[in-house]
Structure 1
Amino acid sequence: MAAHLLGAEGLRLEYPTRVVFDSLTLGIEEGDRIGIVGRNGDGKSSLLGMLSGRIEPQAGRVTRRGGVRFGVLGQGDDLDPGATAGHVIVGDRPEHEWAGDPAIRDVINGLVSDIPWQAKVAELSGGQRRRVALAALLVGDWDLLALDEPTNHLDVEGIAWLADHLKRRWSRNAGGLLVITHDRWFLDEVCTETWEVHDGIVEPFEGGYAAYVLQRVERDRIAAAAESKRQNLLRKELAWLRRGAPARTSKPKFRIDAANQLIADVPPVRNPVELQRLAVSRLGKDVVDLEDVSVRYGDHEVLRDITWRIGPGERTGILGANGAGKSTLLGLVCGTVEPSAGRVKRGKTVRIGLLDQQFSQLADIGGDRVREVLARTRTTFTIDGKDHTPAQLLERLGFAREHLSARVGDLSGGQKRRLQLLLLLLDEPNLIVLDEPTNDVDADMLAAMEDLLDSWPGTLIVVSHDRYLLERVTDQQYAVFDGRLRHVPGGVDEYLRLRREQSASQTGTGVFAGPETSTVSSSAGKPETDSAEGAQAPAVSGARRRAAQKELGAIERRLDKLAREIKAMHQRLAEHDQSDYEGLQRHAGELRELEAEVAEFEQRWLELSELVG
């Protein structure tokens, strides 16, 4: 039985305007890996604050098992501006002590290898400070970790490193993790349980994000009258999870048969043929062509010799480390950056809509009320053949009616992002460029955004560190390597493999190179070298691969047999005399044993699948 780490009983938290939680009781056990989701403002950070002792509830109590070491990463940081990055991370420990610790070296390589060791905290950017704070936490020895938006300021590679680190940090039934994040891929990769914070309660669900979507759809289906809008959206997302990313649904605890029944009548997320036809009719055949384009700032060449022909209806994701030149590439497409060499050709009918990180579209209307802004826009917008007013679109994007009277400048970051997206769509562009669109946006809003983009007939280019969003709304991915643009048919997985090869080739062995040189590249956006183009992934030996493939086949046959046995057991339970409690209990015990065996085989299947590729 798992050991208790922390418990909360009868918690009440109230602010002058509302009650956040009332009589909240929950517990955390050894081995728990809990993702916390919910809409912005529903109390996720407040919950973490109470459990960690940073917020004092008005009633109730939080108890910890004696000796439990609890590490917390909040949304802000309290780093000493005068301290060096190295001192924040390893403190006063002598160099031979921390440099000889492989766990500490791994954290430094994964998060801060590009940050000068002697740089003062006051000199660092906000993103660098965040990574230093996260590294300082992770080098510690903790029984329980609470992380509030740990993936902020990490690129795709850094997020993958953090997920792997958290999976390896403790043994399976040791340690505890609480994490708030809008990164749904990260939730699926790391968490075995999901807590949804809503309406003053915390509702637990088994499994990561994909399993949470399945169970929430089932819950919403039961209460369909009250939750019909969100149910339809989630069922559409679930359909994509099953059809578009089969690796997710191979995870243990995700019940594939149940998912298939729920989505049996849900159409595919997108109709690419129809969208392509509509895009060609709106755009013509010419969109934007980059021909032998280079961009240089002084002596630094950011992009070089790029040729990229963007076609009508293409949905493209752009990958690359921080500082690799992704935003410069978007600037070339949009016309805000002029090439140093080569030329950019745009079709005559192209209308570009840019959703940038700085909310530049809202800068001139900060003093206007939302309803005044909407009154100046088009009266209707067509989605899936139905006309929607701007107010209906705002409601679909999660705005409440009372927000219509708010001034644009007073909106929260998430509300500004929603309004920014709405104004962009109402302007009727036929080429949309999204630069980090997930900033300040919760998971429900992301699902609504994705739903709108599914039926939008045009060309879409997305730069984002949110892997889930990239895989969800784009059909192909390119990566910026060493100033060049290359297609990555294998998507994010192929990109991460190429980055690992590049890192290994730069360091010789891929291990820690020391803080003085800061040469190891991981999450930090060190430029790619040409050798990455021809590098090969470290190969599994032929004999080992054949043995793994043989074991995979045996496991798949065993899983098929177990599935038949479980189906037969369910049938026996249904037909059994319901008054025979002992017989029912015996059958239920046998069923639990079969399901436990399935879970073990599924876990081994995943391990072997990764080994053989």
Structure 2
Amino acid sequence: MNLVNLESVSHSYGPKPLLAGVSLGIVAGERIGVVGRNGGGKTTLISLVAGAMRPDSGRVTHNRGLRVGFLAQRDMLDPASAVREIVLGDRAEHEWAGDQAVREILANLLGDIDLSARASDLSGGERRRTALAKLLIDEHDLIVLDEPTNHLDIEAIAWLAAHLASRKSALLVVTHDRWFLDAVSTRTWEVVDGRVERYDGGYAAYVLAKAERERIAAATEERRQNLMRKEIAWLRRGPPARTSKPKFRIDAAQALIANEPPARDTVELVKFASARLGRTVYDLEDVTLHAGGPGEGPLVLDRCTWQFGPGDRIGLIGVNGSGKSSVLRLLSGTVRHDGGRLVEGKTVRLAHLSQELTELDPGRRVLEAVEEIRKYVKVGKREWTASQLLERLGFRGEAQWKVIGDLSGGERRRLQFLRLIMDEPNVLLLDEPTNDLDIETLNELEDLLDGWPGMLVLVSHDRYFLERVADRCVALLGDGKLSFLPGGVDEYLERRSQGTAVSARGGAPDTTAKDTPPKDTAPTPAMSAKEERELRKEMSRLERQLDKVSERESSIHTKMSETGSDYTKLAALDAELKQLAADKDTIEADWMEIASRLGE
């Protein structure tokens, strides 16, 4: 039974129709991720589902007694209320302190916030986490979240994903964080041109299914198909986290990416970067750094030695407040170190994308602001005009003549990045470049950076973007050093969970007892060789069945395209197609169960 039903729902914002005749429903326990362009109607859709907005036409119905928890983009907190009052309400202290689930939410979202602080004294990120904690502490049948990962670091995002996946509530979430989408979603809705296209699976499955639909329909331009193939190639060849996807889904992509080269020609880029930069970019020797400058603020680096070389693409990871932005400011020369030696290469041409947007003239127009830097720029082996690059990052047609003062935060972010690229730097320092960008724009930004030669240091809480753009990860673990992480983000999270990382304030490693009981560390009985052999044999049989089902599906699609207007034959073929889909789901479920037993 559906918890919520939308029947022929339409809604417009001014003259722009965002939803047109949309009919869909949400089933109990279903977890849905919503994607689409900024301004395309994602927030409108989930607001209608949550009952926070009425449609222009059509009907939205909720089950009687439905408990909906809605986290909107703007947090409506009473400025005079204390955090404790907002989050915990009138619960007695012994009541919430004795509830392990409540303690876990408070520890992971509000661990650095004074519960007696007034909402008016909180920063934007603290207000956001307070609103999220308030929602999660209560019980709901349906949780609706609009950009819940904003202001959360990688560790908190991983915790939130695991927490939501463990709840029995249905979930509807809008987010541009593709790793988070994959972690929490079992279905994906794409809001596009007033419609809602539905896909099974999280972000990776959505990308594959969307590419397959476009391949069959042949209804999209060549450049977007190339981008989609490139994205799938990344999912296939990317970090170890990607290989946990079911093997049959990955194998199904091979026909699409057979001739797709790697996302980056690393050897060629390093060679080009070395020619532009020489051997030295930045060398740190026994450098000590405080966040606010010499002797001011928390200690970030303590007699740290590190070398940034030409062609390095480094993702800098750490909890909020660990000093990631301070390291970027050290490299850009906007903050001085306390001691040690910092050597900067003579040929360094730096571009620093900070989190501030103050350098843009609000009275200029978008295209003018880019062309005043340069009208043409070469990225990789291709030359681009300022207008072409603006179009790639979402400024299409008349949007290039908008006044900067009228732009949204995400639009200003894109414009700021383009101005930096147009100046042809050979060193890029990017501090949270993905803020307020939709997934389509993120794909374009990643593709643009793939062909950019130089040294790059990236700070981002968007795990997918971090793994996609950076070749290696370095962490600030609170010990005053830069720690190389061969295992990337997974290694960082493992070290944090094991208590080997030091708190952001410095000091000894955190060895305090956790609220959660210790995991059973007894070894799992080993599987016998015979049992493993039988399971792998069964897995191979299921994969052959899946291949046959896929071949039959392709054959039916071909017949349907040749049948024309013979509706009787079309109906019979459609019925067979639905039966094949049901068979495929059963086989996939059996395959996944065996894969789980084999630990794959």
TM-score by length of 2: 0.90
Distance 1:212 1:254, change over 3 A: farther
Q: Deviations over 1:394-432 (max 9, x none)?
A: 111121120222112221122211211111111111010
**Deviation by residue 1:483-536 (Cα, 9 ceiling, x = unmatched):** 321111111011011111228x99xxxxxxxxxxxxxx8xxx56574579xxxx
Aligned to 2:495: 498
1:544 counterpart (524, 528, 534): 524
Aligned to 1:19, what secondary structure does the other structure show? strand
- Report the CA distance shift for 1:573/1:104 in structure 2 as closer, same or farther (over 3 A): closer
User: Aligned residue for 1:257?
Assistant: 251
**What is the rounded CA distance, in whole Å, between the counterparts of 1:549 and 1:98 in structure 2?**
49
Letter in 1 for 2:282: V
Is this contact kept in 2: 1:252–1:599, CA < 8 A? no
**Could you tell me which residue of structure 2 aligns to residue 406 of structure 1?**
402
Q: Is 2:375 the counterpart of 1:376?
A: no
Matches within 5 A, 1:38-437: 38-170=36-168, 175-224=169-218, 226-245=220-239, 247-252=241-246, 255-296=249-290, 297-298=295-296, 300-362=298-360, 365-437=361-433
1:564: which partner in 2? 544
Distance 1:14 1:574 in 2: 38
Structure 2 counterpart of 1:439: 435
**Deviation digits for residues 540-594 of structure 1 (CA, Å, limit 9, x no counterpart):** 7574163499876654432112112333566689999x99x99998998688456
- After superposition, the Cα gap between the structure-2 partners of 1:352 and 1:224, relative to the gap in structure 1 and judged at 3 Å, is farther
| Preserved contact between residue 380 and residue 453 of structure 2 (Cα < 8 Å) | no
| Whole-angstrom CA distance in 1 between matches of 2:322 and 2:15 | 45
How many residue pairs match? The answer is: 577
Q: Provide the rounded CA distance (Å) in 2 between the counterparts of 1:528 and 1:12.
A: 57
Moved more, 366-375 or 43-52: 366-375
Select the residue among 465, 472, 476 that pairs with 1:480: 476
Which whole-Å CA distance do the structure 2 matches of 1:345 and 1:205 have between them? 51
Given residue 59 of structure 2, which amino acid in structure 1 is its aligned partner?
R
Query: Which secondary structure state, in structure 1, belongs to the residue aligned with residue 306 of structure 2?
Result: strand
Structure with the greater relative contact order (CA < 8 A, sep ≥ 6): 1 or 2?
A: 1
Q: Residues 147 and 180 of structure 1 are in contact (CA less than 8 Å); yes or no, is this contact kept in structure 2?
A: yes
One-letter code of the match for 1:88? Answer: I
- 2:253 partner SS: helix
Q: In structure 1, the residue corresponding to 2:29 is in which secondary structure?
A: coil
For residues 402 and 577 of structure 2, the distance between their equivalents in structure 1, rounded to whole angstroms, comes to: 59
When residues 563 and 352 of structure 1 are mapped into structure 2, their CA distance, relative to the original with a 3 A threshold, is: same
Change (3 A) 1:290 1:606: farther
Cα deviation per residue 1:81-100 (whole Å; 9 max; x = unaligned)?
11111111111111111111
Cross-structure match for 2:514: none
Query: Are the aligned partners of 1:252 and 1:603 in contact in 2 as well (CA < 8 Å)?
Result: no
Q: What is the RMSD of the two structures over their aligned residues, measured on CA atoms? A: 2.8
Residue 492 of structure 1 aligns with an amino acid whose one-letter code is V
What is the one-letter code of the residue matched to 1:389? T
Query: Could you say if the C-alpha distance between residues 302 and 606 of structure 1 is closer, same or farther in structure 2, counting changes exceeding 3 Å?
Result: same
Name the CA distance, whole Å, in 1 between partners of 2:20 and 2:189.
16
Q: What is the deviation of 1:321?
A: 0.2
The amino acid across from 2:76 in the alignment is: D
Does the 8 A contact of 1:224 with 1:231 survive in 2? no
Identical-residue share of aligned pairs (%): 48
Closer, same or farther: CA 267–299 of 1 in aligned 2, 3 Å: closer
Closer, same or farther in 2 for the Cα pair 1:89/1:545, shift >3 Å? farther
Structure-1 residue corresponding to 2:564: none
- Name which of 557, 564, 589 aligns with 1:599: 589
Tell me if structure 2 keeps the 8 A contact 1:211–1:253: no
